[in-house]
């Protein structure tokens, strides 16, 4: 093993030879660990009361243990489709009618579809790695016994999510896009801030709220059976994580001063602004030789996408309201972004135990 420490995340695409598993895709001579260092002024704590104060958090932890699944055993990796077919439902194709897209041959359009999926899925993977790192920090930082145990179980869930998206990318898509710079800057901010609750807000409310909506969108439009199934399993875990975040933060935010609350509200707003911008895969446009600004404009004009883009926030807004961070200072700015209308949507503060407890392989689970 050689360790190569880089100053910033690599910007190049990675391609993988066709193989059934990741181990055989990489020859030993290719193994190189690529690291980028971040520093964090982490203030950790022991917990000495070992007291389960919140039955809801404890129950979510128990569910996490019960609903474990195995990337290798519980997914049928043969349930895939040929690269000569479209991988997404073409009714949702945002590029129909766009000249540079229409100029592509049929086979290049299919290739574009696979690239677009690879780009989105790569961001899922990079985001999951961020979630893994944050969850591991929360084990140290979270003050209560319940929260430490829960964060540890979440860290294991996130490890599986990294594993499953990585396996799907390397063995089924064969290409990985670099991390989107906007997503990376938000991950940097969350990982290197010293306030544990801000990490918590950034991860459990903003990134996981967005991820849940994005995973559901991907699941509804994919034509690849194993991808739909792995998303179903990941969505179940993420729903539990968001529920934990809202329930824990609701209590915690009540302990903050008005000034502290305002700082958190502004952070949440800024995170939403950054993430709203990242939801367009400009990297694919560049890979296909298009003018990224022009293609971006085209996508932004699309009603389907602008509706979908806002819908991605429909889980975040009611949750921010529930934990008390939709303050008078930030409301007008959320209004200007067109997101305030979601504030009264269903939040994750009330726990639907029946839904969260369903067996993993109940075919009726949505």
- Closest contact distance (angstroms) between CB of 338 and Fe ion is 26
160 binds Fe ion (CB under 5 A): no
Give the distance between the most distant pair of CA atoms in the chain. 66
- Closest contact distance (angstroms) between CB of 241 and Fe ion is 4
Q: Are 226 and 291 in contact (CB under 8 A)?
A: no
Instruction: Report the distance separating Cα 360 and Cα 358, nearest Å.
Output: 6
- Closest contact distance (angstroms) between CB of 108 and Fe ion is 33
133 binds Fe ion (CB under 5 A): no
276 binds Fe ion (CB under 5 A): no
315 binds Fe ion (CB under 5 A): no
Compute CA distances 92 → 82, 100, 212, 240, 308, whole Å: 20, 18, 19, 29, 11
Q: Which stretch binds Fe ion (CB under 5 A): 95-103, 206-214, 249-257, 322-330?
A: 206-214
Q: In the range 30-89, which residues lie near Fe ion by CB under 5 A?
A: none
- Phi and psi at 129, nearest 5°, equal -65, -40
199 binds Fe ion (CB under 5 A): no
- Closest contact distance (angstroms) between CB of 257 and Fe ion is 29
Site string for Fe ion, 82-121 (x = CB under 5 A): ----------------------------------------
Q: Which stretch binds Fe ion (CB under 5 A): 7-15, 19-27, 104-112, 241-249?
A: 241-249
126 binds Fe ion (CB under 5 A): no
Q: Which stretch binds Fe ion (CB under 5 A): 66-74, 182-190, 200-208, 256-264?
A: 200-208
- Closest contact distance (angstroms) between CB of 272 and Fe ion is 18
Contact partners, residue 284, CB within 8 Å, separation at least 6:
112, 115, 116, 119, 177
Contact partners, residue 323, CB within 8 Å, separation at least 6:
201, 205, 246, 249, 250, 253
Q: Is 349 exposed, middle or buried, given 0-12, 13-18 or 19+ CB atoms closer than 10 A?
A: middle
Q: Which stretch binds Fe ion (CB under 5 A): 128-136, 212-220, 252-260, 281-289?
A: 128-136
Q: Count the helix, strand and coil residues of the chain and give each as a percent rounded to the nearest 5.
A: 60, 5, 35
Nearest CA to 60 out of 220, 182, 236 is that of 236
241 binds Fe ion (CB under 5 A): yes
Question: Residue 238 or residue 343: which is nearer to Fe ion going by CB?
Answer: 238
Question: Residue 240 or residue 264: which is nearer to Fe ion going by CB?
Answer: 240
Binding-site member from 126, 161, 261, 309 for Fe ion (CB under 5 A): 161
Q: Are 92 and 216 in contact (CB under 8 A)?
A: no
Q: Are 118 and 169 in contact (CB under 8 A)?
A: yes
- Closest contact distance (angstroms) between CB of 352 and Fe ion is 18
Binding-site member from 63, 71, 75, 131 for Fe ion (CB under 5 A): 131
Instruction: Report the distance separating Cα 214 and Cα 218, nearest Å.
Output: 6
Nearest CA to 272 out of 210, 328, 212, 329 is that of 210
Contact partners, residue 58, CB within 8 Å, separation at least 6:
52, 146
Q: Which stretch binds Fe ion (CB under 5 A): 81-89, 154-162, 194-202, 317-325?
A: 154-162
- Closest contact distance (angstroms) between CB of 131 and Fe ion is 5
- Closest contact distance (angstroms) between CB of 81 and Fe ion is 25
Residue 158 CA, distance from chain mean position: 10
**Residue numbers at the binding site for Fe ion (CB under 5 A):** 128, 131, 158, 161, 208, 238, 241
């Amino acid at each position: 093993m050689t360790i190569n420490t880089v100053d910033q995340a690599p910007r190049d695409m990675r391609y993988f030879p066709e193989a059934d598993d990741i181990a055989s895709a990489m020859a030993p001579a290719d193994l190189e660990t690529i690291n980028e260092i971040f520093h964090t002024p982490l203030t950790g704590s022991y917990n000495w009361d070992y007291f389960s104060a919140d039955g809801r958090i404890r129950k979510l932890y128990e569910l996490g243990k019960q609903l474990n699944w195995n990337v290798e055993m519980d997914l049928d990796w043969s349930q895939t489709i040929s690269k000569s077919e479209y991988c997404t439902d073409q009714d949702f194709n945002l590029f129909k009618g766009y000249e540079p897209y229409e100029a592509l041959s049929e086979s290049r359009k299919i290739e574009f579809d696979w690239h677009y999926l690879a780009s989105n899925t790569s961001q899922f993977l990079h985001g999951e790695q961020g979630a893994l790192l944050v969850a591991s920090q929360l084990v140290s930082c979270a003050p209560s016994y319940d929260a430490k145990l829960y964060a540890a179980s979440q860290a294991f869930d996130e490890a599986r999510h990294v594993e499953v998206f990585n396996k799907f990318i390397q063995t089924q898509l064969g290409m990985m896009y670099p991390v989107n710079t906007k997503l990376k800057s938000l991950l940097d901010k969350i990982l290197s801030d010293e306030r544990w609750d801000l990490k918590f807000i950034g991860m459990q409310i903003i990134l996981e709220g967005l991820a849940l909506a994005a995973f559901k969108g991907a699941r509804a439009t994919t034509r690849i059976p194993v991808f739909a199934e792995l998303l179903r399993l990941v969505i179940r875990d993420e729903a539990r994580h968001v529920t934990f975040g809202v329930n824990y933060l609701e209590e915690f935010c009540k302990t903050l001063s008005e000034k502290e609350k305002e700082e958190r509200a502004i952070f949440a707003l800024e995170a939403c602004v950054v993430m709203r911008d990242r939801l367009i895969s400009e990297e694919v446009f560049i890979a296909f030789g298009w003018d990224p600004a022009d293609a971006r404009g085209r996508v932004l004009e699309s009603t389907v996408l602008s509706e979908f883009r806002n819908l991605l926030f429909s889980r975040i807004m009611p949750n921010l309201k529930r934990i008390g961070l939709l303050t008078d200072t930030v409301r007008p700015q959320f209004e200007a972004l067109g997101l305030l209308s979601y504030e009264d949507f269903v939040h994750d503060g009330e726990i639907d135990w029946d839904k969260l407890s369903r067996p993993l392989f109940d075919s009726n689970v949505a």
